[in-house]
Amino acid sequence: MKIRLDKYLADAGFGTRNEVKALVKSGAITINGEKIKDSSQKVDTDTDEVNVNGEDVDYSEYEYYMLYKPAGIITASRDKKEETVLNLIKSKKRRDLFPVGRLDRDTEGLLLITNDGELSHKLLSPGKHVEKGYVAVVTGYSPDDIEALFENGLDIGDEKPTKPAKLRRFSDLEEFMTEYDDSYFAEKFSKLKEDESLTIYEIKITEGRYHEIKRMFEAVGCSVVYLKRYSMGSLTLDPELKPGEYRKLKIDEYKKLKTTCTAPFLVI
């Protein structure tokens, strides 16, 4: 792909478009060994070797990160006052990264961070029905037919009822642990466990409405006290990650996502 030098440098994190123009004018840039002072010069992102003050530019057209979003951080690209999930991605090169979908401030778990708008659109598009899997700790008396109520769709005060959601109740932490083996969750749960009426549910939804899971449980008279996302389509949260940690997506993880959602090929 051929793009302007100023866009190339700005995308690679060397400053705003104006800052990189000044950098180019200062004579700091070479392309294939030749000094370039014109920021409108085209760069072939696949074959050209660009240097800034003698250092190779490590350019990626797309970046893909799996983040374990911790509670207390907002899902936004930037914010004037608060730390965002993007601030946690310290090794990012691109300036145009964004979170795919939104988790509430108090929700934890899997968040994909990328600048691939096409992939993001396809993961979030209601027509694609991409499943997102969560575990919710819920307080209050659950109706006996709660699974059927979630499956049939609930009136949560929006124009339309929710799309069918798959709900599964765990009898206790032990049963949850045989499947999820999440010691971090177990620790959290034991701190919540003062209230004996807590129930652990696995819930799979295909929409992404505002506070959707919390509002679904409220619609049946319950309240979510803890929520964690484990999966989004074929992508699952790496159990090695701790809250606040992240890593690049692996090629096979990306390829699997791509089979449900056609997207540009990954360059990691």
Cα–Cα distances in angstroms (integers) from residue 203 to residues 141, 196, 231, in the given order: 17, 21, 11
| Binding string, residues 95-114; x marks residues near ligand URA by CB under 6 A | --------xx--x-------
CA 256 vs CA 51, 124, 135: distances in Å: 35, 16, 23
The answer to whether the beta carbons of residues 159 and 209 sit under 8 Å apart is no
Q: Rounded to 5 degrees, what are φ and ψ at 134?
A: -130, 160
**Residues 227-246: x where in contact with ligand URA by CB under 6 A, - otherwise, as a string:** x-------------------
Tokens standing for residue 193: 């466990």
The whole-angstrom separation of Cα 34 and Cα 24 is: 12
Size of the site for ligand URA (CB under 6 A): 8
CA-CA distance, 177 to 141, in Å (whole number)? 23
Contact residue for ligand URA among 50, 212, 222, 249 (CB under 6 A): 212
Name the segment binding ligand URA (CB under 6 A); options: 84-92, 192-200, 212-220, 245-253: 212-220
Q: How far is the CB of 214 from ligand URA (least distance, A)?
A: 4
Token pair 């709660």 in the structure block, residue = 146
4, 42, 95, 211: which one binds ligand URA (CB under 6 A): 211
Whether 104 is a known active-site residue: answer yes
Q: Of the candidates 123, 149, 263, which has an alpha carbon nearest to the alpha carbon of residue 207? A: 123
Of 44, 48, 104, 182, which residue is the catalytic one? 104
Stretch that binds ligand URA, among 33-41, 77-85, 190-198, 207-215 (CB under 6 A): 207-215
Residue 20 or 232: the one with the smaller Cβ distance to ligand URA is: 232
Catalytic residue numbers read: 104
Binding site for ligand URA (CB under 6 A): 103-104, 107, 211-214, 227
